[in-house]
Structure 1
Amino acid sequence: MAAPGRQTEKGERRRALLVDAAADLLAEGGFEAIRHRAVAERAGVPLAATTYYFSSLEDLVTAALDSLARAELADARRLLELRDDPAEIVLDLLLGPRSRTEGLDAVLRRFERLIGSGRRPFLATVLREQRVEFDALLTEALARAGFRPRPGGVRRVTALVDGAVLSGLIEAAPDPRGIAREALAEAVAE
């Protein structure tokens, strides 16, 4: 049963705890890590809370993916405002911010999540909405890095970097962020 339309402050906090826990599990272990019991345990709430606040596991997964992506976008915006290296922010957007510190494992988890999203049609709407924000922020970061992509150029840069990183992953390259940096430099030089 889904939660009533109007929630109490405690209910909103509990729902937020569940979303945060599910987002953490998604980032750490992919879609398979999000299970009612695991989310409830991570959030420190009763198991029944997951089905009270979310009508299905799909709803919980959608909320987790949305939360994780919004947090990553917010981090990238904050770094842009702080005038961090725009090329590194572009790499954060394309490979995930955890790739700075966790390297290969973080990149593998991110690509698995992206590919896994395609197997979950219920995520299509949230992914389309996120893509608009992602492309706008990526365009801004690229501009600050000195690259002014033509219309459609942001998607081309994304495809080039993603393809280079995926090829590197297939070849067991130890530094996917380095591969992405080289591909980005190539794309910017064009």
Structure 2
Amino acid sequence: MAAPGKQTEKGERRRALLVAAAAELLAEGGFDAIRHRAVAERAGVPLAATTYYFSSLEDLVCAGLDRLGNEKLAYVRGCLDMRDDPAEIVLDLMLGPRSRTEGLGAVLRRFERLIGSGHRPFLAGLLRAQRVEFDGLLDEALTRTAGRRPRPGEVRRVTALVDGMVLTALIEAEQDPRGVAREALREAIGK
């Protein structure tokens, strides 16, 4: 939680720096990378700022995960507006845009975050809210791809298909799990 009372402009900047730093560390190293000292160093603020602006490390993790999710959703909305390749939009939404450039490492980190979140019940509400936005955006992407609204359960089936193909590719030591998922997705949606 933020410190009580009205935030100053400097306080708002510091808090934003801490949230951005937590999101970056989460994307780069997963939940274990988020520590008070690491976040403060990345943000370039005193260590005490982490406990002044956030009541716990859990609050800081939530704020970082929220920002990371919002950044991904904003990126994908921009791709939809630019009419980017529908399969790539779906993969960006599901695997994150970093998987385009960082490949296997970004995909592995995303799945580690998903699995790791199951051990952090304090993230459940945030993840449910993100899921609603995620499903809405995936519905829009599939609508643009197929020229029709997805049938009931289709969004979840596409999610299961991509996640399943990526996990299978990871198990089989495939170096391009995004490519494997792309092929299966294009076959499934007919693009």
Superposition TM-score, scaled by structure 2 size: 0.95
Q: Using the TM superposition, give the Cα deviation of residue 149 of structure 1 relative to its aligned residue in structure 2, in angstroms.
A: 2.2
- 1:47 is matched with 47
Does the alignment pair 1:164 with 2:165? yes
- The 10-residue stretch of structure 1 (35-44 or 155-164) with the greater mean CA deviation from structure 2: 155-164
CA distance in 1, matches of 2:144, 2:29: 33
User: What CA deviation, in whole Å up to 9, does each residue of 1:101-152 have, x standing for no partner?
Assistant: 0110110001101111111000000001000100000111111122642111
Alpha-carbon distance between aligned partners in 1 of 2:104 and 2:5, rounded to the nearest angstrom: 42
Deviates more, 1:75-84 or 1:122-131: 75-84
Q: Give, in whole Å, the separation in 2 of the partners of 1:187 and 1:94.
A: 16
1:125 equivalent in structure 2: 125
Offset at residue 186 of structure 1 (A): 3.1
The aligned runs of 1:83-162 (5 Å cut-off) are 83-146=83-146, 148-162=149-163
Distance 2:79 2:186 in 1: 20
**Distance in structure 1 (CA, Å) of the matches to 2:35 and 2:129:** 25
Contact 1:2 1:51 in 2 (8 A): no
The letter for the 1-side match of 2:145 is A
Contiguous gaps of at least 5 residues in structure 1: none
Unpaired runs of 5+ in structure 2? none
- What CA deviation, in whole Å up to 9, does each residue of 1:85-111 have, x standing for no partner? 121110101111001001101100011
Q: TM-score, normalised by structure 1?
A: 0.96
After TM superposition, give the deviation of residue 187 of structure 1 in Å: 2.4
Task: State the AA in 2 paired with 1:114.
Answer: L
Residue 2 of structure 1, CA deviation? 5.2
Between 1:3-12 and 1:118-127, the stretch displaced more is 3-12
Question: Alignment RMSD, CA only?
Answer: 1.3
Matched pairs, number: 189
CA offset at residue 5 of structure 1? 3.2
* SS of equivalent residue, structure 2 residue 41: helix
- C-alpha separation between the residues in 1 aligned to 2:140 and 2:128? 19
Q: Does 1:174 align with 2:175?
A: yes
